[in-house]
Amino acid sequence: MSNEKKIMKVKGLQIINGVANFPISWLNKHGYCEYSIYLEHHKGIIVSPTKEMTIGSKIHEKLEDDFNEDSIETTFSEMMELSKSEDLLSREIWVISTKYGIHGLIDEIWMTPDEFIIIDDKPGHIAYTSTINQVLAYCLAFKEIIGNDKRKIRAALRTRGTDEIFWNIDFDDKAEKNIIKLLNRMQRLFKGETPYIPTNNPRKCAKCRFNNYCEYKK
């Protein structure tokens, strides 16, 4: 009999090719407090979205509407081909990695003959580890999708509703190894092979949506 543990029942998780596949946005929750994922997705506790989340969704919709007014509809493969000779911009690109168990929508991609810049829009202008992990996961899934195209990939964070890129790096071997390490940990969490760790930061607990339900609240 195999010793491999089964993936536990987790709300919002899909099993694709035997691998737990989760929305890349969960890495934000993970960076805030790993245990909040347990409360929301294993225990199924439902709480209202924060004010920041609601504002973020509205700004996101407005950006999308503005972009759609001037955009030309095309296919992903047409864009890939065209971008070998000219600069292109695309929004809301769906990516999935069945290998690493992640999926999500990339806010914006700049495609040029030399490189791809993967942009994630965030409120404010601080590059938190959680937001960095999120954009690196988008890069990893994008890399899997483009296959043999060897153009460089850059990860960038931009202040939502502005043109201000406040952080960017090359998605190099080191960045790729770091994000794969975290994604492997997520898989172990889903299988119950390692426990979800609550934060030690009382300021996070004070603002946490789940603090009325959490036995580890500081």
Label the pairing between strands 88-97 and 19-23: unpaired
Three-class DSSP category at 47:
coil
Nearer to ligand SF4, 67 or 216 (CB): 216
For residue 35, state whether it binds ligand SF4 (rule: CB under 6 A).
Answer: yes
Number of residues that bind ligand SF4 (CB under 6 A): 14
Distance CA 209, CA 218 (A): 14
Contact 29, 189 (CB under 8 A): no
**What ranges in the chain are assigned the alpha helix state H?**
26-32, 34-37, 51-70, 76-82, 129-146, 173-190, 202-207
Name 167's bridge partners.
157
Q: What torsion, rounded to 10 degrees, do the Cα atoms 75, 77, 83, 87 define?
A: 30
* Closest distance of CB 192 from ligand SF4, Å: 18
Give the nearest distance from C-beta 206 to ligand SF4 in angstroms: 8
Among 13, 24, 39, 135, binds ligand SF4 (CB under 6 A): 39
If the CB atoms of residues 75 and 212 are measured against ligand SF4, the closer one turns out to be 212
> Interaction with ligand SF4 in 170-209: which residues (CB under 6 A)?
198-199, 204-205, 208
Instruction: Pick the closer one to ligand SF4 by CB: 37 or 141.
Output: 37
**Binding residue (CB under 6 A) for ligand SF4 from 24, 36, 41, 133:** 36
- CB contact at 8 A, 7 and 15: yes
Nearest residue to 166 (alpha-carbon basis) of 139, 138, 115, 132: 132
Among 10, 24, 33, 141, binds ligand SF4 (CB under 6 A): 33
**Taking CB under 6 A as the rule, does residue 211 contact ligand SF4?**
yes
**Segment interacting with ligand SF4, rule: CB under 6 A, options 31-39, 103-111, 138-146, 156-164:** 31-39
What's the min distance (Å) between Cβ of 29 and ligand SF4? 9
Q: Which residues of 67-94 are buried (b: 16+ CB within 10 A; e: fewer)?
A: eeeeeeeeeeeeebeebeeeebebbebe
Q: Is the Cβ of residue 40 or residue 108 nearer to ligand SF4 in the bound state?
A: 40
Which residue ranges make up the site for ligand SF4 (CB under 6 A)? Answer: 33, 35-36, 39, 198-199, 204-205, 208, 210-211, 214, 216-217
